[in-house]
């Protein structure tokens, strides 16, 4: 591929092109990042557990390395994700071995968001303040029996009720007055989950929470969801008046998590290319509401989907860091 071609330059008129990175990939994939990406997200380094593993003990070294790399290379930085039911240390939810009461949860949330927001300041232009607070899809017969529960059952919810969500946005606004504040979630194109995510965000907006955008994670596969379902989702979320970011794009080569390992054949690569082209065409056509498209990783070798026992090939760069043919097609399509 020509040295002159650049994904982020080609898409400048549409949206930013981002990658989730870590302290290894900013070195290993530095050249790819510099050529094709103008935005980064820390894969784990800004999450609660990494930043404050023990109460009052903050560690910013890894995130700071990534921020320095991004600044040096004129990349924007998305902040991800201080309020999440995962990767939050046990101590946060406990007091003397029992569940921490609401006041203490809020005190800790305030201290955490203050320190993190003030540490990064305007270097982070946008925060996924809350991640994945909507309940996952449950079978239809469950809904008939128990109702269509909007909120994920978490320790936050147990301690504070749904008010913790509103609180998180107000705290982030207080300590990071200039950042754009997002909510981020997955399975966002599943019709039932979409309804829950929509309701969760509508409730926040109705309560006056400073929510400005929604992050569609886009952990899809080369088989699903249907492009029409993605389109419907974009329209539904945008109808709330929110900006949209695609925050964690990858296209798994498997139908499901349980499939046995396959090999990455030309046929699968072509299917994947077609899906990438279709989705990018859709995203370009909604560039009036989509400001950023971020991939969850740079190259297949270090994708979270390849870390287990099963290999996967979800990204635009292969196991050796070479561009897949679809990269040039995506660039040409934007010209």
State which residue, 37 or 186, has the beta carbon closest to ligand GLA. 186
State which residue, 124 or 331, has the beta carbon closest to ligand GLA. 124
Q: Which of residues 213-232 bind ligand GLA (CB under 6 A)?
A: 217
248 catalytic residue (yes or no) = yes
CA-closest candidate to residue 29, choices 331, 321, 231: 321
The one catalytic residue in 132, 188, 226, 258 is: 132
* Min dist. Cβ of residue 109 to ligand GLA (A): 18
State which residue, 11 or 183, has the beta carbon closest to ligand GLA. 183
Largest CA-CA distance found in the chain, in angstroms, rounded: 60
* Min dist. Cβ of residue 278 to ligand GLA (A): 22
* Min dist. Cβ of residue 81 to ligand GLA (A): 6
- Residue 65's contacts (CB-CB under 8 Å, 6 or more residues apart) are 23, 26
Residue nearest to ligand GLA (CB): 304
Rounded to 10 deg, the angle between the 191-206 and 227-238 helix axes is 10
CB 300 within 8 A of CB 319: yes
Cα separation, 89 vs 26, whole angstroms: 26
For residue 245, report the phi and psi dihedrals to the nearest 5 degrees: -125, 140
132 catalytic residue (yes or no) = yes
Q: Which of residues 288-317 bind ligand GLA (CB under 6 A)?
A: 304
* Min dist. Cβ of residue 148 to ligand GLA (A): 23
Residues that contact ligand GLA, how many (by CB under 6 A): 7
Q: Residue 156 interacts with ligand GLA (CB under 6 A)? A: no
Q: Residue 248 interacts with ligand GLA (CB under 6 A)? A: yes
Q: Residue 22 interacts with ligand GLA (CB under 6 A)? A: no
Q: What is the CB neighbour count within 10 angstroms for residue 230? A: 22
3-state secondary structure of 46: coil
Q: What is the rounded (10 degree) CA torsion for 204, 207, 212, 216?
A: 10
The one catalytic residue in 43, 45, 166, 248 is: 248
Cα separation, 335 vs 322, whole angstroms: 22
State which residue, 157 or 207, has the beta carbon closest to ligand GLA. 157
CB 76 within 8 A of CB 66: no
Q: Which of residues 61-100 bind ligand GLA (CB under 6 A)?
A: 80-81
State which residue, 181 or 273, has the beta carbon closest to ligand GLA. 181
* Min dist. Cβ of residue 4 to ligand GLA (A): 32
CB 333 within 8 A of CB 326: no
* Min dist. Cβ of residue 154 to ligand GLA (A): 14
Q: Could you give the string, one character per residue 178-217, with x where binding to ligand GLA holds by CB under 6 A and - elsewhere?
A: --------x------------------------------x
Cα-based distances in Å from 180 to 5, 18, 127, 128, 129: 30, 16, 6, 9, 10
Question: Hey, which residues are catalytic here?
Answer: 132, 248
Residue numbers at the binding site for ligand GLA (CB under 6 A): 80-81, 131, 186, 217, 248, 304
């Amino acid at each position: 591929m020509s040295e002159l071609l650049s994904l982020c330059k080609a898409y400048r008129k549409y949206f930013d092109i981002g990658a989730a990175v870590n302290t290894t990939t900013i070195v290993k994939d530095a050249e790819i990042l510099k050529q094709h990406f103008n935005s980064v997200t820390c894969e784990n380094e800004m999450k609660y557990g990494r930043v404050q593993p023990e109460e009052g003990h903050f560690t910013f070294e890894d995130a700071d390395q990534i921020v320095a790399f991004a600044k040096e290379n004129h990349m924007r930085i998305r902040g991800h994700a201080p309020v999440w039911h995962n990767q939050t240390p046990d101590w946060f939810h406990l007091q003397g071995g029992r569940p921490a009461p609401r006041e203490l949860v809020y005190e800790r949330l305030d201290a955490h968001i203050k320190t993190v927001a003030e540490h990064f300041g305007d270097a982070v232009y946008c925060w996924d303040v809350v991640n994945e607070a909507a309940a996952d899809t449950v079978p239809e017969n469950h809904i008939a029996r128990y109702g269509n529960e909007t909120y994920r059952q978490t320790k936050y919810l147990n301690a504070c009720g749904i008010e913790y969500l509103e609180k998180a946005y107000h705290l982030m606004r207080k300590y990071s007055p200039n950042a754009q504040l997002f909510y981020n979630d997955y399975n966002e194109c599943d019709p039932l989950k979409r309804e829950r995510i929509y309701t969760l965000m509508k409730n926040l907006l109705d309560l006056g929470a400073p929510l400005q955008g929604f992050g569609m994670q886009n952990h899809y596969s080369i088989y699903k969801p249907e492009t029409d379902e993605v389109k419907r989702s974009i329209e539904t979320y945008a109808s709330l008046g929110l900006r949209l970011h695609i925050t964690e794009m990858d296209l798994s080569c498997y139908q499901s998590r349980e499939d046995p390992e396959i090999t990455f054949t030309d046929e699968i690569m072509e299917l994947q290319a077609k899906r990438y082209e279709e989705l990018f065409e859709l995203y370009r056509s909604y560039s009036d509401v989509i400001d950023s498209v971020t991939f969850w990783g740079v190259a297949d070798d270090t994708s979270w989907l390849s870390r287990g026992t099963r290999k996967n090939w979800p990204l635009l760069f292969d196991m050796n860091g070479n561009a897949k043919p679809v990269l040039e097609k995506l660039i040409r399509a934007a010209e």
